[in-house]
Every structure is written in C-alpha cells, then in structure tokens.
Structure 1
Amino acid sequence: MSRDRRLVRHPAPRGRPDARGRGLRAVVAGGGIAGLTAAIALAERGVTVDLYEREPYLGGRVGGWTTTLPDGTRTGMSRGFHAFFRQYYNLRTLLRRADPGLDVLTPVPDYPLVDAHGRTDTFQGLPLTPPWNALRFALRSPTFTARDLLRVDRRVAAALLDVRVPGTYTDLDRLDAREFLDRLRFPHAARHLAFDVFSRSFFAAPERLSAAELAVMFHLYFLGSSEGLLFDVAAAPFDRLWDPLAAHLTRQGGTIHTGTAVTRIEPGTRHTVHTGDGAVEADAVVLALDVGGLRRVVGDSPALGPRAWRDRIAALENAPPFLVRRLWLDRPVDSGRPAFLATGGLPPLDNVSVLDRFDSDAAAWARRTGGSVVELHAYAATVPRDETSAALLTRLHRLYPETRDAGIVADLSEWREDCPLFPPGSFARRPGVETPVEGVVLAGDGIRVDLPVALMERAATTGWTAANRLLAGWGVTGHDLESVPVRGRYAPLRLLPSAR
C-alpha cells in the first residue's frame, strides 16, 4: 500500500463498461511489460486479443528462462537483476492482477553505493518525505559537504526542485546530464554516487543522456515521491512474474503466441498483421516492441503512416551495449556483503548482486553446494564483450577479495544492445503512444508519455495508456493510472535566489 499521500490519480476516459459482444479484435506485438499490460487492459474490457512475442518467453528485457548448469542443475536465467521501486504504481497494478499481495517481490533492506576510493553512501534510515530525504542524503554523504551545498547554483537547482512534465523537457532536453551538473556546480566527487549511478541505469553515460531525463528521474525517485529509494526484487526467477499474468490473460480470452514475431502491417479499415505464422485481421494494433523491432516492423510496412512519422521511428537510437555476467561460485561470499551493491567511478562495473540472498533458485543452489551466486552488471559498455567481462571479474575480486580464490562452477553472460537511448534534444521528436494511423498505437519504455515515469514503470504506463486510447475510441471505459506528482511538491523552494 502506498505511503505517499500526494500520489496522483489520472482517471481514464469513461464510457461503456466493456466491449463484449461487439466482435472487436486487437493484435499486440511484443510480450514485454508494455505488451502484456496493453493486452491485459484490452482483454479485461472484452476485446479479443492476440499477443505475439518473438522470444519463447514473456517479459521482454525482464524475461526469464530455464538453463542447465554444468553440474546438471536446472535453474532460472535472465538478462539481469531489476529493481521494483515502490513508486512503480502502474507496474505494480499489473503484477497484482495475478499476485494481489505481491508475494513474488521481496524488499532489499539497503543498497550501498561505493566509489573508487571506498567512500560509501546508503539509503537506509533516510526520511521518506521530500526534500528532507535528499538533504539528509547529501549531508551525510562522505563526498558531499556543507560547503559543497553552499556552492551549488540555486537557480540551476530550481530545475530539480520544480520538475514539470512535460515542461522540464522543454527547458532541459537540449542539455546533456554532464553539462547540467557542471552548471549546477555539483561536486565531482559526489557525482558518481548521487547521479551517475542513476544516469547509467538508462544504459548511457551522462554525456549521452538528456538532462531532462536526469531531472525527471531525480523527481521520480527522490524529490517527487515519499515512497523512499529502497526497492523490492523478484524473489524467484522472472518467469514466475509473467507466467501467472499469461494465465490471467488467457482466462480473459486472450491468446498468446510465443516464438512468433509480427513482421509487417497493412493498414486499412481493418488492419492485416503479418506474423511468422501467417496473417490476422484486427481492428487495432499495439506495437509494444523494442527500438530495433519497432524500426523493423515500420520499415517493412511501407503504407503504415506518413513519411515524417516513419522518419521519427527510423531515427530512434539504441543505447550502448550492456553485459550481465552471472557466476556460480564454489564458496560463499562474506556474510556481511549486501544483497545489492551499486558502484560509481569503477568502470565497467555498475553493480553487484548476491543473488542467493533473494532469488529462490540461486538460494537453493547455494544451500546445496555451499557456494554462492553473484551477478555483475556493466551498462553502456565502451570496450568489446571479452574485455568488459574480464574487467568485471577483476572489479569483483577487488571489492570482494574472498572471491579471488573461488572456483567458478558456472559462468553465463548476456550481452545485449536493445535498450532505448534518450540523448539530448530527442524528446520533441520521440514518438508518443498515438500514431497517425487510426487504430495503431505504440507502447514501451522508449515511447513518450507525459508523466513522471521511467524504465519498467514507463513500459507499464504506456501499455495502460495505449489500451486506454483504443478503448476511448470505441467508447469503452479505460483503466486509471497513478504517478508521483507531475511537478515539484514544494512551491516555496522554486523561489530560491541564485547563488551567483
């Protein structure tokens, strides 16, 4: 249950209670968070839904599958740890469709942030209420002093205190995150811990990330929310998040086609959707694809939309590649290690997870063997896969010296390059949920929606929004959304004078 009394509810358009008996059919391309959300939202209102996913599993970049280790153990594998923050309201609404108590999630008591000099910040014990949470975090940080606070340019800081969506994008999207922090006069020693950790969660170095995205993210996680900066993690492999939702969708009359991709669309009074299994006619289409998939489908559908819109889709960029390396070690890591450790200024390592502290499969393997399961992440990799992988292991050995002599029982990696990039100046041309084609909508974490959301929450929010747009066109009631406030919570703080 939310602790934030300032949570904002965004009512959906009202109409008929459902579309049952009208013979409406929708195709959803993509079975990640956005696609599952849209499919469930439509099916619950009586629309016949066919969901197509090219992979053999659901969940997209948060999907999971089963693999066999060299010792014969069958265990869950994924593209890496994900943080389920408490202010991910629309994602949690989705998960509650199959798990009302969110029993599949478990809290992480803290996640320290450590830099190259061993200086550590923590989120444990912080006040929940803004702005005292941010002020307390800054003042107790070993990298941020009271003198640093006085040097901060208060005029620039007002952009963080007075985040407005979408107004902040108009104000700041032309700047990159590094330039913004320079103007803020934010101390270099504190950037790794206070900002870089978050900017890199967008799989981009600060100089390739829009300052507006950084400001909105700071609002979402810190100054706009009283939910706190601690988060939950999946207590089981990711397939146990999505399989129950797939069952829920099926009970609502939806049909799921895994291992089958949507390839192109012929728009018309009813749209013809081509897939690896043939073609299907639909009244509506939701394209809930990653950047590459969306570019391919639109590029291979020459009649889909006007040239200007198609060019915007073609111009979407992928973020640099990232690497997730998961190690099954023959001995435990020190019992004092946190379940999750974030790093700043220790490239290419961005975080370390001790999976056997929260993942049921990893915990079972560790109990049986006396070992441990450790996962290493490198976002926005700048060198080839093998070099990145080796450097990750070197960093682990330095941070957790007890792992130097550990034998590696199994070693699996995921090297991917399919996350959206949000470079400076990109917001105005970023495609939104609506398209110029009647009955075709977009969803995904790379799609514009004018609410203070990011990452998995943006995926879920655009999924609900895409379904709502279609339902409104049919005169059917949609699904209400929730978010942190759409602008800064404390009006007097916006009047801070310039430090100059």
Structure 2
Amino acid sequence: MAGQRMSVTRRTVLRGAVAAGALAGAAATLRPTAAVADPGRRVVVLGGGVAGLTAAHELAERGFDVTVYERRALGGKARSIAVPGTGRDGRPELWGEHGFRFFPGFYKHIPDTMRRIPFAGNANGVWDNLVAAPEARFSRQNAPDTIIPMGRAGKPWATPDDFRETVGSAISTSTKMTDTDALYFANRLLVFNTSCDARRYGQWDKVPWREYVGAGRRSTEFRMLLSRTLTTLLVAAKDDLASTLTIGNMGEQFLGNPLEVGNDGALDRLLNGATNEAWINPWVARLRDLGVKFVSGEVRGLEVADGRISAARIVDASGAAQQVEADYFVTALSTEVARTLWTPEILALRPDLAGMSQLMVDWMTGIQFFMRTQTDIARGHVAYVDSPWSLTSIAQNQFWNRTPLTGFGDGSVRDCLSVDISDWNTPGMLYGKPAKECSPDEISREVWAQLKAHLNDEHVLLRDEDLHSWFLDTGITWDAAQHRNANADPLLINTAGSWALRPVSHTAGLENLFLAGDYVRTNVDLATMEGASEAARTAVNALLDVSGSNAPRCRLFTLYRATELEPFRQLDIGRYAAGQSNLFDAPL
C-alpha cells in the first residue's frame, strides 16, 4: 500500500493518557524557557517507553521539536495497566502492572529525570514519590525463611582481606550459609571488583555466572541463592547463560558497597502509588508542556537516502500508512522490534547492528493478586527461592500512602500482591507445565500455589478466601488452539558474550539515526529502565554533537567502584595484558 508522505504536525497528537489538571498546572508553573525550534531541529522518537520519554524530555528541554510515536501505551514496560471493568461507585479501576517497580539506590539517571518532573506538593518532583523498603524476605519451601534488613550494613573496610571478611560475614549471617561458602563467594566478588575493564569486557563477559562462581562444586544453598536466585532476580536468566560481566556489576553495587557510598537513596525503593499516577502521567504532562507531541502509530520501516534516514514508515491508529519525515530519528524500541527494521541497506551503513540478530530475549512478566485483607508477608520484596517459576513479589498497599487500594475498584480490595514471573520455561508444581504453555487461569492458579507452598509452611499467610481477583499483564496472550502464550514485551537477556553483539548509540555510518534502547551498550549493562535512560541520554548527546548544538550535554553517571580497590585494578591492567589471572583469582 502506498504511503502518504507527511511532516510531523501538531494535528497528529496522540489522545492518550493525560495527567490531572492540577499536575499539568504544576508543570506549567515550573516550565523553563525553551527556544523555538530552528529549521533542522525536527526529531522523531520511535517508541514511548522509558527510553523514548527520556530522549524526548532531554531534547525538548534543549529546544528541539520532538514527536513521539508509540504503538500501544506511553510508559512501555514501566506503565500501569487499568484493569477493565473494576471501577465501582465513582472509584477508578484497579491498577495492574507489567511488573512491580524497583528503584535501587545505585540508579542515578532515572532519579535525575524524576527530579525534573513536577508533582503537586513535592519539592523534588516525582522523585519524592519514592519510598524505601526496609527489608527483603527470602522464602523457602519447607525451610525457615530469611529476612534481611535493607538499610546500610557492615563496616568500612580498607583492604582486600577486610572486604572478604565483611562481605562474607554479611552473607553467612543473613542467609545461614556456611562460612566457607560465604567467604568463597566474597572472594569471587573481590576478583571481579579488582578486575580491570579490559578483563571485565574481554574475559568475564564471555563466562557464564554459574561457571564463574563454581556453583556446581558448592552447597545446595549456595547454588540456590548466589547462583540461581541472584540471576533470575536481576535479569530473568538462567545462571548457566547470564554474563558474569552483568551479574558481577550488580554484585558490586549491592554487596560490594555496604555503606551505599554515592547512592542516590536507599538501596531498595519503590513508588508510593501506581506507576502511572506517581510517575508516568506527570511525566507525559511535563513533556506536553515542553511542546512534545505524541502520536499513536507503529513504525514499519525506515527509508534511506544519501546515507541518512529520510523517513519512517508509520501505520497510524486508523491503519493508514504514512511516511514521516524529520531531521533526526531516535529509535527507542525494544530489541526484538528494533532489529526488524535493519534492512540490508541499513546494515551496509551500520554493520555493527547485525549482531542484534543474535541477542537473546526471554520473559519476565507480572501478575497481581488483589486481596480482601492486608497481607503481612514482608516490609519489602520477597524472593521465593524454591519456586519453579522463580517468583518475586511485593505487597503494595503498605507503600501506597497517596491513595490506599480501598479507593480503587469496588472498595473491598485492601492489598495487592504484585508478583513477577521470571521463569516461563520450567514446569510448575500444579499442572506440570511451563508458564508459556498454561492458560491465564492456569497461570494464576499455579503462581498462587507456589506462593502458598512457600508462605504457608509455618504460618498461614495466604488464604484462598481472601483472594478477591487477579490480573495478568495484557502483553501475555493465550492461543487456545496452539496451547501456548505469546508475549508482546520480552526482556533482553545479557548472556555470556553478548556485549560484543550490542551496538553503540550512534556511528557516522547513518548520520541522523540514534539508538536509545536498553540493548545499547551502557555503563549499567542491564536491561532495565535505568539502562534505557542512560542509553537515551547517550543518544541525545550524540544528536547534539551531530547537530552542532551548543546546549549542555545530558548528565551521564557511572556505577560505584570502591576507591580502596583501585590500585589492584590498575595492577590488573598489566596482568591481563600479560595473560595472567587476577591477583585474587584462586583455582575453583
């Protein structure tokens, strides 16, 4: 079908989610002076998730004329999802989620943006809607559970021996792991933390986490907690696939920084309300106030002329095909969508994009259980260590101080147990099938059974009669004929060796194309909203360079590295170049 060529106009504005008038008013009062877009400053952003909204935000503040195209819903995987038909007597509908939100203290790009999103009554904008979770629970089936305080812990350390003893002691005390296993893991973390960049990217990225920690030769507790659970919690990946570079980076932040040096806030944070209310809707209102336009449309291809992207082929909400022109194009699409756009012509100009075809995606998706009673499971996140589907959860009402759950739905819901399913490939305990082969009703029953198996072994914490209803992420669709689910929102998995397959945000090969997805090489190196934000900022900085803009560049942050270990990292540069092992890398 021939498309109609068009330029971006304000008449194509997406009539999507709009924040309340009070929020828009607050945004207007804090609006900075923005320059009128000059010729050559039109930007099309493809994708309205965290990466796309971040890119639009940074560009609009710098005077660019920005239009965002989003095929489904603004906020992407981070959005809330209204549960249809649940509102009663003037109350809004219950909120579902793709998965519960988690804002670790070492996140810096997302918090920096949140401080620039006005929110009525908040001095620091949306950032003030973050609240700390004081503890985490590791729940075992037919075994005592472990509750770990999430505040600052441990003591300062100054030497590698101090590091091993401090981290090892913290692990053995909090997990009931043997001192031998705990000290061994602490030493593996020390090896990574004292490795130079060349070793991290050249050696450890190619090694699966299970192999790196020698899980096959350790205790069952070690394998379950520090190999299997750690990887599924962080990247929804199996420990025999996950890159040591990625998991090691996260270990360096969570375990190698007990005093939370340089953190933006508490180690474990979440929002004080539904994500759309507490973050996404105010963000969209802010961007509208800055002049950003939102269009409902799905990108179907990119046109190339004279070494540049000349237009994007868009199918709008009515099904009509259009050719959208702009000076610059930012692709803020997920891995599996973006790589469908790389035609032979584009790959000839940007051969580094070819590796994306080998990147692995998997599923990590949420289901919410709405409860008639307040749950008393943990004052924070819960990991169900022995669950076949690698479940984690958070009881939300204890943190939703803005609007308690009784203010939604029919008024009888008093809590929401929001659960992430990280393993969709392992057979469950109830039906003996993986989640990918279970109907939505079977998924809800299976997850509920796995939760009860962990939580009801000593005291009954979950009762069937307290369950009001449940909601499965709408990205999961069931094909009854094929007896299989499809997932519209898979997650990039950083498998061993995947760093070399991931592209940078921009090269001279395609001058006006910039990549802002979480598959782009970033410092945080994890498919998260923080990675998406960092990638978007990197894309915007490259766009500013190409356009010749003198606007301030976006702030970019680095992950924490202990200064006490820097001399050993410097020493490791020479050892790695000479083919020697890390100084602390004893045989497994």
The two structures have a TM-score, normalised by structure 1, of: 0.86
Q: Do residues 255 (structure 1) and 296 (structure 2) align?
A: no
Partners of 1:37 and 1:323 in 2: CA distance: 23
What pairs with 1:448-459 in structure 2 (closer than 5 Å)? 448-450=521-523, 455-459=528-532
Count matched residues.
477
Secondary structure of the equivalent of 2:212?
helix
User: Aligned to 2:498, which of 417, 426, 432?
Assistant: 426
Give deviations 1:388-443, integer Å, cap 9, x for gaps: 54331112223142423324322111234511121111111212212431111111
C-alpha contact 1:317 1:420 (8 A) present in aligned 2: yes
Displacement after TM superposition at 1:189 (Å): 0.8
Find the counterpart in structure 1 of residue 366 from structure 2.
324
Aligned amino acid, residue 311 of structure 2: T
Report which stretch shifted further, 453-462 or 194-203: 194-203
Q: Residues of 2 paired with 1:237 and 1:181: CA distance?
A: 38
Q: Which runs of 5+ in 1 are unaligned?
A: 1-16
Residue number among 154, 160, 174 corresponding to 1:141 in the alignment: 174
Q: RMSD over aligned Cα, in angstroms? A: 3.0
SS at match of 2:536: helix
The residue number in structure 2 matching 1:491 is 566
Is the Cα contact below 8 Å between 2:353 and 2:503 reproduced in 1? no
Look up the equivalent residue of 2:310 and give its one-letter code.
H
SS at match of 1:138: helix
Greater displacement, 217-226 / 233-242: 217-226
The answer (yes or no) to whether the contact 1:23–1:48 under 8 Å persists in 2 is no
How far off is 1:80 after superposition?
Answer: 1.6
Q: Deviations over 1:4-40 (max 9, x none)?
A: xxxxxxxxxxxxx979534411111111111111111
In structure 2, how many angstroms separate the alpha carbons of the residues matched to 1:108 and 1:367? 28
Q: Describe the superposition over 1:55-105 as per-residue Cα deviations: whole angstroms up to 9, x where unpaired.
A: 1x2111111232235573512222120211121111111111114241222
List aligned pairs for 1:145-156, cutoff 5 A. Answer: 145-151=178-184, 154=187, 156=188
Q: How does 1:187-226 map to 2 (within 5 A)?
A: 187-200=219-232, 201-223=234-256, 225-226=260-261
**Does the aligned pair in 2 maintain the 1:61–1:79 contact within 8 Å?**
yes
- What is the CA–CA distance in structure 2 between the aligned matches of 1:340 and 1:179, rounded to whole Å? 28
Corresponding residue for 2:579? none
| 1:217 Cα deviation after fit | 1.5
Q: 1:385 to 1:442 in 2, by over 3 A?
A: farther
SS, match of residue 491 in structure 2: coil
The Cα shift of 1:48 comes to 0.9
Q: Is the 8 A contact 1:329 1:372 kept in 2?
A: yes
CA separation of 1:164/1:328 partners in 2, compared to 1, >3 Å: closer, same or farther? same
Change (3 A) 1:164 1:192: farther
**Hey, what does 1:275 align to over in structure 2?**
314
Report the CA distance shift for 1:210/1:69 in structure 2 as closer, same or farther (over 3 A).
Answer: same
Q: How has the CA–CA distance of structure 1 residues 363 and 110 changed in structure 2, closer, same or farther, with 3 Å as cutoff?
A: farther
Shift of 1:106: 1.8
Alpha carbons 2:130, 2:272 under 8 Å: kept: yes
TM-score by length of 2: 0.74
2:553 paired residue among 467, 471, 478:
478
Is residue 390 of structure 1 aligned with residue 445 of structure 2? Answer: yes
Tell me how far apart the structure 2 counterparts of residues 149 and 50 of structure 1 sit (CA, whole Å).
51
Q: Residues 352 and 179 of structure 1: is their aligned pair in 2 closer, same or farther, counting only changes over 3 Å?
A: same
Q: 1:332 to 1:171 in 2, by over 3 A?
A: same
Q: How many percent identity over aligned positions?
A: 23
Letter in structure 1 aligned against 2:395? V
Deviations 1:351-394, CA, capped at 9 Å, x for gaps: 12212222335353599426432122210211123455433111
Larger of the two Rg values belongs to structure: 2
Residue correspondence of structure 1 range 58-77 to structure 2 within 5 A: 58-70=74-86, 72=88, 74-77=93-96
Q: Structure 2 vs 1, CA of residues 297 and 452 (structure 1 numbering), >3 Å: closer, same or farther?
A: closer
Q: Equivalents in 2 of 1:498, 1:313: separation in Å? A: 32
What residue number does 2:56 align with?
A: 39
Does 2:157 align with 1:120? Answer: no
Work out the CA distance in 2 between the residues paired with 1:260 and 1:361: 35
Residue of structure 1 in register with 2:428 after alignment:
none
Q: 1:393 to 1:488 in 2, by over 3 A?
A: farther
Partner of 2:482: none
Q: CA deviation at 1:252?
A: 2.1
Paired residues of 2:79 and 2:98 also in contact (CA < 8 A): yes
Write the letter of the residue equivalent to 1:390. R
- AA aligned opposite 1:357: Q
Alpha-carbon contact 1:329-1:406 (below 8 Å) kept = no
Aligned letter for 1:98?
I
Question: What residue in structure 2 maps to residue 333 of structure 1?
Answer: 375
- Larger relative contact order (C-alpha < 8 A, sep ≥ 6)? 1
User: Once the 2 structures are TM-superposed, how far is the Cα of residue 290 of structure 1 from its aligned partner?
Assistant: 0.8
Q: How far did 1:325 drift?
A: 1.8
Distance 1:233 1:183, change over 3 A: closer
Task: Report the CA distance shift for 1:389/1:177 in structure 2 as closer, same or farther (over 3 A).
Answer: farther
- CA contact under 8 A between 1:51 and 1:254: conserved in structure 2? yes
**Counterpart contact for 1:378–1:388, Cα < 8 Å:** no
Task: Note if 1:295 corresponds to 2:295.
Answer: no
Give, in whole Å, the separation in 2 of the partners of 1:186 and 1:19: 62
* Mean CA deviation greater in 241-250 or 339-348: 339-348
